[in-house]
Each structure stands twice: as C-alpha cells, then as structure tokens.
Amino acid sequence: MKKGSLIVLSGPSGSGKGTVVGELVKNSDFCVSVSATTRSPRDGEKEGVNYFFKTKEEFIALIDNNELIEYAEYLGNFYGTPSKFVEDKRNEGKNVILEIEVVGAKNIKDKCPDATMIFLLPPSMSVLKERLQGRGTESPEQIKNRLERAKEELTYIGNYEHFVVNDDLNTTVNTIFNIIKGE
C-alpha cells in the first residue's frame, strides 16, 4: 500500500486552520494528528479530541522518551506531535494533517523533506483581529499576544511551498485538496 502523505498546515491564530482541517478530514483519506499540549483546555475542548492535555512534567517525559516528532513553545505553553499515530496512519495509507505552528513545522520539514508545507493566511490583519475577538476564547491580552506572534510567524513563510488566503472556506478547502492531489 502507498504510504500516506504528511501535510503541515500552519498559519496565525485566527487564520481558520481548525475549521479548514475539520472540512479536510470529512474525506476519509485524511486524518488529523491530535497534539499534546501543556495549555489548559478551553471551554468545550475534549481530551484526546482537541488535544492530549499534559502537565509540564508529563510533556517533558514525552520529549525524553522520544515520543514526539516535533514540539515547540508557543506563548508560554508546549505543543507537540506524537510520532506513533502519524507513522501508523501513514502506513495505513492515510494522509495525515499536522496543524502546527511555524517552529515545529520547520523541524518537520528538516526531518521529512517530502512533507507538503501549506501556510494559511488571513485576508488581512484586521480580519485576523476581528476573528480572534469574535471567537471569544481569549482575553484581550491573549489576543494582543497572538497578533504579535502572527507577525513573527510571517517571517517563517520561506519554509512553506504553498500559500492559501483563507477568505472563503469552500475555496480554501478545494485549493488545499488540489495542492495535495498535485504533489
């Protein structure tokens, strides 16, 4: 069986990555990797569905035991991708999507040069701000930090081959399907 692809999807907080991934995985050839994080769960987030929520000590044990393909710190919390799930699913022929930030994405690119690297852009910074405010999951201080971080993240775009402006969800999802088909 042909091994599944590895697809890295990055983009600033509020660019709509989660919604786009939710659409992509409606296709049974695709699945999304669930990350481990030391961030606290937001309202409605479920263990094993949105994230595996870990203490800092538990997260460090995952690193020490070599259980993560990559990890990074983002605004004071650790986030990382468990290796086993990704390998198992790819060996089953599934295309695995990693929805991760730019530092971890760079590490994936170094380890797996055949990964498809996609950067999702918001139509503008003001739209990004409106989306972050509209979803109501972060405090004004956290929104400010996420917007600052968005600007830093843009300096990493040289590590990506594909850029998609997420203006209209259907168009974005179709564009990403076409990118993956074309690889």
| Chain centroid, CA 158 distance in Å | 17
Interface mask toward ligand 5GP for 122-161; x: CB under 6 A: ----------------------------------------
Q: Is 74 in the site for ligand 5GP (CB under 6 A)?
A: yes
One residue of 21, 30, 59, 80 binding ligand 5GP per CB under 6 A: 80
Residue 173 is a binding residue for ligand 5GP (CB under 6 A): no
What is the Cα–Cα distance from 116 to 176, expressed in whole angstroms?
10
Q: Is 81 in the site for ligand 5GP (CB under 6 A)?
A: yes
- Strands 6-10 and 116-121 come out as parallel
Q: From the CB of residue 168, how many other CB atoms can be counted at a distance below 10 Å?
A: 11
Is residue 54 within 8 A of residue 62, CB to CB? The reply is yes
In sequence order, which residues have a C-beta less than 8 Å from that of residue 1 and are 6 or more positions away? Answer: 91, 92, 93
Minimal distance in Å, beta carbon 66 to ligand 5GP?
15
Closest contact distance (angstroms) between CB of 179 and ligand 5GP is 18
- Token output for 122: 């918001």
Applying CB under 6 A, the residues found at the interface with ligand 5GP are: 13, 17, 35, 39, 70-72, 74, 79-81, 99-101, 104
